Structure 1
């Protein structure tokens, strides 16, 4: 795990409370905090979760607006809140917005209020680029100053949580840092990125060479490095930060780079985009096609300037790490 060298110069590290320490982002973040020597409280949903020597563990089975955090917050100076109800592709809840609000808004604000009362100095909230929206025009990237335009219940709940936290910051001495990541990838990535890895690994031909979109991505280590910087940086106070790898790629470029990292022959070929969209609609994959071939770019110039931060891991190195992990896992499962 690559963590910013900025942290090595901190003479006295603040005690941190981390939620979501078993998640895709939370687990490597937890391990990086241990490596960096931070004293912290790890909040988990069950007793059997990851236990680390010298790390205080607090079990909160369900996040809600009624959780009592008093025992967990003793001596804590910084809260990193990465837990929440994630974006769900096949929603089954009868009232999805209510379900998202209960966890992402009510539970978050409850924790933040108690944190402020307990004397916590900084609350770092992992939000989502979905607060900005789902798609950008090519060569027009989202900025943190843009008017929010969430299009789904998950994005709405994250926006409402952000607004409630910023309002709380104005009423208390606790400051708030909001980070809106784009699609996060790395070892053990799931969902659409894992599907792309599987498709490239199988050597299947893909008709995306002429798709001229632009996507911002963020490697897990780059996101964690930014979180480490936000723990202590004075200019992070009461700010919203967008984060990416700093290099936007088309879907064809992503697939070609993955093939190169896997030492596979690129099987990307050209196909008219309108016709490809028509085929996707005919087979019921219109939404998937739009997510894959639409543009979503973020402008991280504010993050760079305010924090003096740059992504420490290049996208080529990040793809190499991710593909090696995927292939190792596939090799292990095939011999299991």
Structure 2
């Protein structure tokens, strides 16, 4: 373990960070940002032999004993826990979510509590707080009301970590939907739609949703490692300005050097088409609000992206 201590805090300015999920969508961007910030990174992965260009250790399964987790945190200063299952079609999905998204996090936190001198940063999800559609502006003081097995497992993991890390050297982050190169899920579907040259009947969609730039989330993680003002805290992570589906499509197409190409269509027609094509759940998400405020994390010194649409447009140029 190495690094200098920042004046006025008890944590290393730089040192060794164990990152689970380092090969995932967020991890791929976080690792180089950590290195640029002066940290040594160790990836915890199920297949360390296949991980090229980075020091790696095997990530134990939730069923393995405490000794396996103690081994991987033995020589690190901090832990960033990204690894999770977001979607599964397996039978017994609730049990799978709980094992991977809660039990694994708890065992890692127990090992970290006994060993590390720095921070344990757990990347949870806004789904631990609310469903995919939410009335009003979501803030951390709202009573958590997850609506699916994924969100319930994440919330349970948050509670486990808070009860285990009694020194308070942990931070829980609840990001909203993250965008960036290589994104999957609903944002990937919108990007695919936007890449079509056909005009799209989506102009009338006015639901507003908070999004999060991937680089900004990585900055929030590094900020949490360094900032004692985030100790024992749970924070929503989101860009400042919510956007609509037409704004997202327009931003992507402008980034590609094209006109928006949107026209209005009755929403009941779009809803019927979504149901007929098996996209009813995705339609409900696209046509519902989920606005979340990251003001509390900003108050600790983290800077949020001001304009999601402009950021998406910039990213689409590359």
- Per the normalisation by structure 2, the TM-score is 0.89
Counterpart selection for 1:150 from 146, 152, 177: 146
| Deviation digits for residues 109-155 of structure 1 (CA, Å, limit 9, x no counterpart) | 01100111114432100001111222122xx1111111111111111
Give the direction of change, closer, same or farther, for the CA distance of 1:105–1:205 in structure 2 (3 Å limit): same
Alignment of 1:132-147 (within 5 A): 132-133=129-130, 134-137=132-135, 140-147=136-143
The equivalent of 1:334 in structure 2 is none
Q: 1:316 and 1:251 mapped to 2: Cα distance?
A: 10
The equivalent of 1:328 in structure 2 is none
Contact kept? 2:179, 2:211, Cα under 8 Å: yes
The equivalent of 1:163 in structure 2 is 159
The equivalent of 1:50 in structure 2 is 51
61-70 or 148-157, larger mean C-alpha shift: 61-70
Counterpart selection for 1:215 from 198, 205, 209: 209
The equivalent of 2:241 in structure 1 is 247
The equivalent of 1:333 in structure 2 is none
Q: 1:11 and 1:80 mapped to 2: Cα distance?
A: 15
| Deviation digits for residues 143-201 of structure 1 (CA, Å, limit 9, x no counterpart) | 111111111111110010011111113xx325221111111111111222222222221
Q: CA RMSD in A?
A: 2.3
Structure 1: tracts of 5 or more residues without a match: 1-5, 326-336
Number of residue pairs the alignment of both structures matches: 308
The equivalent of 2:199 in structure 1 is 205
Q: Within the alignment, does 1:311 sit opposite 2:314 as a pair?
A: no
Give the direction of change, closer, same or farther, for the CA distance of 1:22–1:284 in structure 2 (3 Å limit): closer
The equivalent of 2:40 in structure 1 is 39
Give the direction of change, closer, same or farther, for the CA distance of 1:120–1:108 in structure 2 (3 Å limit): farther
Contact kept? 1:63, 1:107, Cα under 8 Å: yes
The equivalent of 1:82 in structure 2 is 82
- Per the normalisation by structure 1, the TM-score is 0.85
Alignment of 1:65-104 (within 5 A): 65-66=64-65, 68-88=68-88, 91=89, 93-104=90-101
Counterpart selection for 1:277 from 271, 281, 287: 271
The equivalent of 1:14 in structure 2 is 15
Q: 1:254 and 1:119 mapped to 2: Cα distance?
A: 41
Structure 2: tracts of 5 or more residues without a match: 1-5
Q: 1:266 and 1:12 mapped to 2: Cα distance?
A: 45
Q: Within the alignment, does 1:259 sit opposite 2:259 as a pair?
A: no
1:50 CA drift (Å)? 3.4
Contact kept? 1:16, 1:79, Cα under 8 Å: yes
Give the direction of change, closer, same or farther, for the CA distance of 1:22–1:179 in structure 2 (3 Å limit): same
* Other structure's SS at 1:124 match: strand
1:313 CA drift (Å)? 7.3
Contact kept? 2:201, 2:264, Cα under 8 Å: yes
Give the direction of change, closer, same or farther, for the CA distance of 1:61–1:78 in structure 2 (3 Å limit): closer
The equivalent of 1:330 in structure 2 is none
Give the direction of change, closer, same or farther, for the CA distance of 1:44–1:313 in structure 2 (3 Å limit): farther
Contact kept? 1:79, 1:120, Cα under 8 Å: no
The equivalent of 2:3 in structure 1 is none
